[in-house]
């Protein structure tokens, strides 16, 4: 069965510190992988996506993610967080199929300590 697991419900980091949000997926074929961000009271916005090529993907707002097939992981990273990064982050997986849909993880809430 297809699934996405985000093991961390809530993470707090200090402003300026590095960040890594974990994502593990289960998918029967080559997956498309996404990270979305949701600011309070807003809809979701795409940060980055991966579907082939270089396993290190650059996204908006200084975020990057690395696809590791052997670990079924797609962790999101940022070298130095800013207070404006406080939000909820969702990992998602999709596939190649006219009937396929994106499956979302349960989300990780990021808080920034001043």
Partner 1 sequence: NAGVTQTPKFRVLKTGQSMTLLCAQDMNHEYMYWYRQDPGMGLRLIHYSVGEGTTAKGEVPDGYNVSRLKKQNFLLGLESAAPSQTSVYFCASDRLAGEGDEQFFGPGTRLTVL
Which residues of the chain form contacts with partner 1 (CB under 8 A)? 9, 32, 34, 36, 41-46, 49, 51, 90, 94-102, 104-107
Question: Nearest approach, Cβ of 24 to partner 1 (angstroms)?
Answer: 14
Q: Which is nearer to partner 1, 15 or 44 (CB)?
A: 44
105, 107, 108, 112: CA torsion to nearest 10: 140
Half-sphere exposure of 37 (CA within 13 A, CB side): 17
Longest CA–CA separation in the chain, Å: 46
Place of tokens 């996405």: 4
Q: Which is nearer to partner 1, 54 or 114 (CB)?
A: 54
Q: Which is nearer to partner 1, 17 or 29 (CB)?
A: 29
Question: Nearest approach, Cβ of 81 to partner 1 (angstroms)?
Answer: 22
Two tokens at 81? 């967080």
């Amino acid at each position: 069965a297809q699934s996405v697991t985000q093991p961390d419900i809530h993470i707090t980091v200090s402003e300026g510190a590095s960040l890594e949000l974990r994502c593990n997926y289960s998918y029967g074929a080559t997956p498309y992988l996404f990270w979305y961000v949701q600011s309070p009271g807003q809809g979701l916005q795409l940060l980055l996506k991966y579907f082939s090529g270089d396993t290190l993907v650059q996204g908006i707002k200084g975020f990057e993610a690395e696809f590791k097939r052997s670990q079924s992981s797609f962790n999101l990273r940022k070298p130095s967080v800013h207070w404006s990064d406080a939000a909820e982050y969702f990992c998602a997986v999709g596939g190649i199929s006219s009937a396929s849909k994106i499956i979302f993880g349960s989300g990780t809430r990021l808080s920034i300590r001043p």
